[in-house]
Amino acid sequence: MIKQLETRCRQFLQGLQTSDTAHDIDHIERVVKLATYLCKQEEGKLEVVAPAAWLHDCVSLPKNHPRRRQASSLAAEKAIDFLKSIAYPTHYLSEIHHAIEAHSYSAGIKPTSLEAKIVQDADRIDALGAIGISRCIQVGASLQRTLYCDVDPMCEARQPDDSRYTIDHFFTKLLNIADTVHTDAAKREAEQRSQYMKAYLAQLSHELEPSR
């Protein structure tokens, strides 16, 4: 069932148009891979985790979209409609809906099931490490934000403002993610990736020092 689901989900997602390259099919496949790993580690229900991971971003709105906070709820509704259309077992649908709705950082919905926690953890971990740095810069460029504040790039004497500076997003969100994941396996991975990001910031600060 899971193999058939994978094929149908990939076909469904490839038929959707999106200009959000940070939430493209590559992002989704990374989240699926990590969620599957976490599911096995935590002994969750793959029948819930797999479709939720595949479809969690089937509605993806830009970071500056006025309905950004509602994107996960819209994705959950669209995902359930799709799963019904392929006759996915109905007794999993409620749990899948919750897992998709709760995955979003901006939605602020607390996951109440192990499976929802796994999907949320997998999605958040993809915002960390080398991939996370790349995605952060990618999003900032798409929104035409300046990479860093030339006066105080590491926010040492000012409040971070990630609506203006891409690097500020590390301080407003990314470096806090490791404290928000739920499962033990996710905590280990998030901490390792966070250390990599801190090393990147240290190197960036070093390279910018001569110009300050």
Q: DSSP letters of 31-91?
A: HHHHHHHHHHHHT--HHHHHHHHHHTTSS---TT-TTGGGHHHHHHHHHHHHHHHTT--GG
User: What Å distances lie between residue 154 and 146, 197, 210, CA to CA?
Assistant: 14, 13, 14
Domain co-membership, 153 together with 204:
yes
| Spatial distance between the Cα atoms of 41 and 207, rounded to a whole number of angstroms | 40
Question: Which pLDDT does position 151 carry in this prediction?
Answer: 93
Q: Mean pLDDT for each consecutive 10-residue tract of the chain (212 residues)? A: 89 77 85 97 96 91 62 92 96 97 84 96 97 94 94 96 97 96 95 98 92 54
Domain co-membership, 60 together with 4:
yes
Domain co-membership, 27 together with 89:
yes
Question: Which pLDDT does position 21 carry in this prediction?
Answer: 66
Domain co-membership, 63 together with 168:
no
Single out the residue in 110, 145, 179 at which a domain terminates. Answer: 110
Domain contains 70: yes
Beta bridge partners of 146: 165
- What is the domain-level CATH number for residue 186? 1.10.3210.50
Question: Which pLDDT does position 61 carry in this prediction?
Answer: 67
Q: Which of 51, 188, 194, 30 lies closest to 115 in space, CA to CA?
A: 51
Domain contains 160: yes
Tally of residues, the chain: 212
Question: Which pLDDT does position 81 carry in this prediction?
Answer: 96
Single out the residue in 83, 110, 137 at which a domain terminates. Answer: 110
Question: Which pLDDT does position 19 carry in this prediction?
Answer: 58
Domain contains 121: no
Domain range enclosing 139 = 128-211
Domain contains 35: yes
Question: Which pLDDT does position 3 carry in this prediction?
Answer: 83
Domain co-membership, 4 together with 102:
yes
